[in-house]
Amino acid sequence: MNPPPLRGSLTRCARSARVIGRTVSHTGRMRKKMNLPKQFDHWVNDNNPPVHLQYGKGWWDYIEMLRRLASKFEIEQLEVVGTYTMRTPPPEEELQMPVVRLAAGTVELIVKYDFSTFPETWTASVKTSNAKPQPTYGLFDPAADLRGRTISGFDTGMIYGSYSENPAQFSCELEDEWDVAALIRIVSNGDG
C-alpha cells in the first residue's frame, strides 16, 4: 500500500498554484504560462545533431539555455532568424547552430552562442524602447562597436553600434549564459 502524498508535495503545490492561463513563479509572482513558439521547436526538431557527434551536447545545452531564458523572462517570441556552421575543436565536427531572436514587450534580443572558441562567446544585439543608460556591471565593453566585424549567422542589419553610442540599440559580446541573463534583466529594467 502506497502512503498518501505528502501535504504540500511539489505536485500538489504546482496543481494548486495553477490559475487559468497563469502560474505562480518561484518568487510568488503571477505570470503567464509560457508556450514556446512552434517555429523554434520545429527548427530544433529538424536540425538536432546526429547522436554520434561528440559536441552534440553543447548544441543541446544551448537550446535548453534558450528555453530557460524564455521561461524566466517571459519571452513572448523565440524564433530562429539565422544559422551558422560552427567548427568545433578536435575532434573536429560541424554543427549547424541557430541565431535566435527573443522578444518580450518592447525588448528584442538576437543572440548566438559559439563554444568552439576559447573563451566561449555569446553575441547579442539588443533593441529596446528604454534609451536611458543603465549600469552594465562590467558584463561587456560599452564602447565596443561590432559593426566592422563579420559575425557568422548575423545579417548586416542585425549588427548595431556600441552601447555608449545608443543604449536603446547596440550589439555586444558576453562571456557566458549568466551574462546573457543579466543583460536581459538590465535592458528590461524600467521598460514598460
Q: Per the domain annotation, does 24 fall within a domain?
A: no
Q: Per the domain annotation, does 162 fall within a domain?
A: yes
pLDDT at 126: 97
Determine the Cα angle at 27 with ends 31 and 40, to 5°.
45
Q: Per the domain annotation, does 29 fall within a domain?
A: no
9 within 8 A of 19, measured Cβ to Cβ: no
Q: Which domain holds residue 70?
A: 35-188
Q: Per the domain annotation, does 10 fall within a domain?
A: no
Which residues make Cβ contacts (< 8 Å) with residue 164, sequence separation at least 6? 142, 143
Q: Per the domain annotation, does 145 fall within a domain?
A: yes
* Distance in angstroms (rounded) separating the CA atoms of residues 147 and 56: 30
Average pLDDT over residues 64-68: 95
pLDDT, tens digit (0-9, with 9 covering 90-100), for 88-107: 888 899 999 999 999 998 99
pLDDT at 33: 47
Q: Per the domain annotation, does 47 fall within a domain?
A: yes
Q: Per the domain annotation, does 26 fall within a domain?
A: no
pLDDT at 159: 96
pLDDT, tens digit (0-9, with 9 covering 90-100), for 115-148: 888 888 999 999 998 778 888 999 999 999 999 9
Residue 2's pLDDT band (cuts 50, 70, 90): low
How much is the mean pLDDT over the chain? 82
pLDDT surpassing 80 at residue 79 = yes
Parallel, antiparallel or unpaired: strands 77-87 and 169-174 = unpaired
Distances (CA, A) of 74 to 49, 95, 100, 172, 185: 28, 28, 15, 22, 11
Number of domains in the chain: 1
Average pLDDT over residues 136-164: 94
pLDDT surpassing 90 at residue 26 = no
pLDDT surpassing 50 at residue 6 = no
pLDDT surpassing 70 at residue 7 = no
Q: Per the domain annotation, does 1 fall within a domain?
A: no
Average pLDDT over residues 10-35: 42
Distances (CA, A) of 10 to 5, 13, 24, 71: 10, 5, 13, 19
Phi, psi of 108 (to 5 degrees): -130, 130
